Structures are given as C-alpha cells and as structure tokens.
C-alpha cells in the first residue's frame, strides 16, 4: 500500500517552502478578498487568514534527490515525476498512468513509497527523495534486484523499477517481512507483460531470507 507521505507528517502543513496544502486550497477557493502581492509571493486572505499563493509562473523549488540538492525553476503544477524525468533526467521512475493507478513511478519520500505522479514537486521540498537509481550498492545489485534477476521477474521492464522500489520499501521498514506483507506492499503496482510469477518467486526468495 502506498500511504500518503504527508498525512501523518506535521511538517507537511503549508509553510514557506512547501506549496499549498489541501486545506488551504479549499480556503483559497472561497476567497473574496483581492490578492495582494508582497515581496514576490502572493498572499491572499482566505477564511480570515493570510495564505501564500505560488505561481502560476515558475518559482524556485529545491529538491533533495538521492542525497543531492537540486534547485529548479518550476511551475507549481509540475509533478515530482515530471521534475525528475524532464528536468533532471532521472528516468528510472516511469510515467505510465500519470494518476496513481499503476505504481510505475514509485519513489521513496522520507522512506515511504509514493507515486511520484501524484505529488507536486513543490510539495516534495524539504524531504528526502530516493529513486531506483540509488538502489544498487556501487556496481552490485541489491538483494531485491538480484531476486528479480534470478527469477526472471522482468520482461519489457517498464514496470520493474516501480516494483523494485516498492519491494525495497517494505523490507526497509521490516527486514523480516513475510511473503504476505511483501505482496501487500506490491499490490499498488501493475505489470502488463505478466511477470507476476517471477515476482512471486522473488518474494518467496526474499521472505525466506528475512525469516
């Protein structure tokens, strides 16, 4: 299951670096006062409170990806996935459904698996973002990756990075995860070629190791 990484995170409430929260967005949508620009960032009165508004033009966005800081100029509407792929050319996470249905774009945000297509880049500021690109240990495959190779769990390979990241996330949280728990962790990922048999075997291999 892919949790909303922002749900239980108190820091995720709107602040100087992180876009507009859902709650604030609802407030903005009912504003009556005219927007007043202050020092480049718009502030509007919404439900009696001042709320910062970003965009619609490009704004600076700072992302920490695979341990490295990147400063980008992005429209606030750009998703984390598009920022990764089109701005930074970090292309392991794939764009398939672009609406949180298939898991091909799974990345880790503060250690939790997240659909990168369904979080805005501006919301991902101040968080640790990890992609498939740092799963290898130097030139050696991670045990999960090796289990995919051993059990031929990739065909065209387009869904594979998403599966590997989601799989790794389960084991990062619980190295002793059972096969059932791993399967649960991968239930948000979809494959078209039909590599599930190999993935089942990879799960068995890793669950055995964990046990």
Partner 1 sequence: MPDYNWPDAEHRTLIGKRISRVDAPVKVSGRAKYTYDYHGANMLFGKVLRSPYAKAKIVSIDTSAAEKLSGVKAIEIIQKVGTTAQWAGDEIIAVAAVDESTAEDAVRLIKVNYQPMSYLVSDAEPPAGAGEAAGPMSDDDIDDAISNQMPDAQLVQYLQEHGVSFKVDDDFLKDMKGEGASEAVLAAIQKAAYHEVKSTGHSNFQKTAAQTHGEPDKAIAEADVVSEGLYGAAVIAHCCLEPHGSVSEWTDKDHLFTHISTQNVSGIAAQMAEPLAISAANIHVHQDNVGGGFGSKFAADRWDITAARLSKKAGGRPVRIMLERDSELKVAGARPSAYARVKVSAKKDGTLTGWQSQSWGTGGPGGGGMPPIPYVFNIANQHKEHTAIRNNIGPARAWRAPNHPQAAVITMGALDDLAAKLNMDPLELWRKNLEIAGPRGDTYREELTIAADLMGWKEKWRPRGQNISGNIARGLGLSIHTWGGRGHESDCDLTIHPDGSVDVKMGTQDLGTGTRTTIVIVAAETLGIPIEAINLYIGDTLYPPSGGSGGSTTPGGVSSSTRRAAVDARELLFAKVAPALNAQPADLECVNSTVRVKSDPSRSLNWKQACSKMGAMSLTARGHNDQVPAKNHPDLTNSGVGGVGMAYVEVDTETGIVKVKKMVAVQDCGLIIDLKTAESSCYGAMVMGISYALFEEKVMDQATGRMLNPNMEFYRLAGLNDIPELVVHMMTGKGYDERGVIGLGEPPVVSPGAAIANAVANAIGVRVSFLPLTPDKVLTALTTTQKAGA
Least distance CB 206 / partner 1 (angstroms):
13
- Smallest separation, CB 122 to partner 1 (Å): 14
In angstroms, what CA-CA distances link 60 with 18, 71, 131, 196?
Answer: 11, 7, 22, 41
Query: In terms of CB distance, is 12 or 206 closer to partner 1?
Result: 206
Nearer to partner 1, 23 or 58 (CB): 58
Least CB distance to partner 1 at residue 10 (A): 31
Q: Which residues bind partner 1 (CB under 8 A)?
A: 75, 77-78, 82, 85-86, 89, 91-99, 101-102, 104, 131-133, 135-136, 141, 145, 148-150, 152-161, 164, 183, 186-187, 189-200
Query: Strands 68-74 and 59-65: what pairing?
Result: antiparallel
Of 46 and 93, the one with the shorter C-beta distance to partner 1 is 93
DSSP string over 73-141: EE-TT-BHHHIIIIIS---SS--SSSSSSS-TTEEEETTEEEEGGGSBGGGGTTSEEE-GGG-SBTTBP
Q: How far is the CB of 189 from partner 1 (least distance, A)?
A: 7
Of the pair 27, 130, the CB lying nearest partner 1 is at 130
Q: How many CB atoms lie within 10 A of CB 48?
A: 7
């Amino acid at each position: 299951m892919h949790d909303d990484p922002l749900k239980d995170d108190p820091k995720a409430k709107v602040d100087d670096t992180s876009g507009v929260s859902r709650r604030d967005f609802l407030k903005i949508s009912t504003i009556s006062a005219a927007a007043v620009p202050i020092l480049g960032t718009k502030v509007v009165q919404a439900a009696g409170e001042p709320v910062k508004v970003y965009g619609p033009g490009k704004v600076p966005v700072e992302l920490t990806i695979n341990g490295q800081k990147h400063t980008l100029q992005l429209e606030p509407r750009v998703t984390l996935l598009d920022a990764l792929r089109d701005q930074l050319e970090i292309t392991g996470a794939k764009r398939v459904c672009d609406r949180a249905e298939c898991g091909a774009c799974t990345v880790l945000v503060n250690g939790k698996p997240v659909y990168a297509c369904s979080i805005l880049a501006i919301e991902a500021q101040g968080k640790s973002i990890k992609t498939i690109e740092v799963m290898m240990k130097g030139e050696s495959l991670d045990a999960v990756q090796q289990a995919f190779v051993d059990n031929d769990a990739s065909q065209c390979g387009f869904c594979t990075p998403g599966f590997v990241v989601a799989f790794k996330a389960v084991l990062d949280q619980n190295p002793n995860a059972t096969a059932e728990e791993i399967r649960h962790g991968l239930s948000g990922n979809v494959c078209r070629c039909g590599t599930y048999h190999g993935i089942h075997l990879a799960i068995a291999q890793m669950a055995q190791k964990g046990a």
